[in-house]
Amino acid sequence: MPDDIQRDNGAPDYLIRTEDELRALIGPLDPIAVSKTIMRLDPHCRQFISLSPFLCIGTFDADGRADVSPRGAAPGFVQVIDDRTIAIPDRPGNNRLDTMTNILANPSVGLLFFVPGFEDTLRINGKARLTNDPVLMAAGTVNNRPPKMMIRVDVEEAFLHCAKALKRSKLWDPTVQVDRKIMPSLARMILEQIEHNRCADEEFLADVDREIEHDYKQNLY
């Protein structure tokens, strides 16, 4: 944090405590922003999901602590079962199981779908369950590898989100892409965070980087 920016110390003059205070600051709600919420997946939502190779899923544990996790594969990897139900395959990961254990404790989820090149996004909120339904698992199989399980989401509301955030970020603009080499490798960053004494061993770091790349190649599905 820059020296000239001070952390908010919770001074009463600056805290926003009520919705009335919030509305006074932001302004009234656009009626279209309210009415655009639908309780099912219409043809536009279905097509958006079919084009999407990436989503973020937000979950909460029993104490209300939040987590957001990415999910991605080829467009159409999320199955639309009907106009109120979708299924998301769970692929090999780091086995932390944050999303899964949260769903077991609290089924409420929020989903944000992206389509490359689209600056609009699709938001879905609902209740999730974990299942190893063989029909869903078979439909989610890639390269003869079925998913670990499926996240079945009962849709409670869906709506399209405007493009302002992606326009401001220029997310899809290739001219603003950042060279990955500007930051250390994933292995180095994690080890610097948790195991400082191993970071000086360049051979060890190189081995870990190779293991990560091998895992990407062999265990995406």
The reply to whether 45 and 121 lie within a common domain is yes
Residues 6+ apart with CB under 8 A from 22: 16
The total domain count for the chain is 2
The reply to whether 182 and 156 lie within a common domain is no
The reply to whether 193 and 85 lie within a common domain is no
Q: Which residues of 143-177 are buried (b: 16+ CB within 10 A; e: fewer)?
A: eeebbbbbbbbebeebbbbeeeebeeeeeeeeeee
The reply to whether 69 and 152 lie within a common domain is yes
Q: What was the pLDDT predicted at 13?
A: 79
How confident is residue 12, by pLDDT bands cut at 50, 70 and 90? Answer: low
The reply to whether 116 and 185 lie within a common domain is no
State how beta strands 85-90 and 79-82 pair.
antiparallel
* Stated pTM of the model: 0.88
Q: What was the pLDDT predicted at 8?
A: 57
For residue 146, being part of any structural domain is answered with yes
Q: What was the pLDDT predicted at 200?
A: 65
Q: Which domain holds residue 202?
A: 178-218
The reply to whether 108 and 155 lie within a common domain is yes
For residue 112, being part of any structural domain is answered with yes
* 111/210: higher pLDDT: 111
* 189/117: higher pLDDT: 117
The reply to whether 137 and 35 lie within a common domain is yes
Statement: residue 4 has pLDDT above 80: no
Q: What was the pLDDT predicted at 32?
A: 83
The reply to whether 162 and 91 lie within a common domain is yes
Statement: residue 44 has pLDDT above 60: yes
- pLDDT (tens digit, 9 = 90+) per residue, 132-182? 999 999 999 999 999 999 999 999 999 999 999 999 999 999 999 999 999
Give the pLDDT mean for 60-69: 96
Angle between helices 202-218 and 186-194 (to 10 degrees): 120
How confident is residue 196, by pLDDT bands cut at 50, 70 and 90? Answer: low
The reply to whether 205 and 105 lie within a common domain is no
The domain that holds 83 is classified in CATH as 2.30.110.10
> Percent of the chain, pLDDT > 90?
70
- pLDDT (tens digit, 9 = 90+) per residue, 96-114? 999 999 999 999 999 999 9
For residue 89, being part of any structural domain is answered with yes
The reply to whether 214 and 190 lie within a common domain is yes
> Percent of the chain, pLDDT > 70?
92
The reply to whether 53 and 126 lie within a common domain is yes
Residues 6+ apart with CB under 8 A from 175: none
How confident is residue 209, by pLDDT bands cut at 50, 70 and 90? Answer: confident
The reply to whether 118 and 190 lie within a common domain is no
Q: What was the pLDDT predicted at 2?
A: 54
Computed over every residue of the chain, the mean pLDDT equals 91
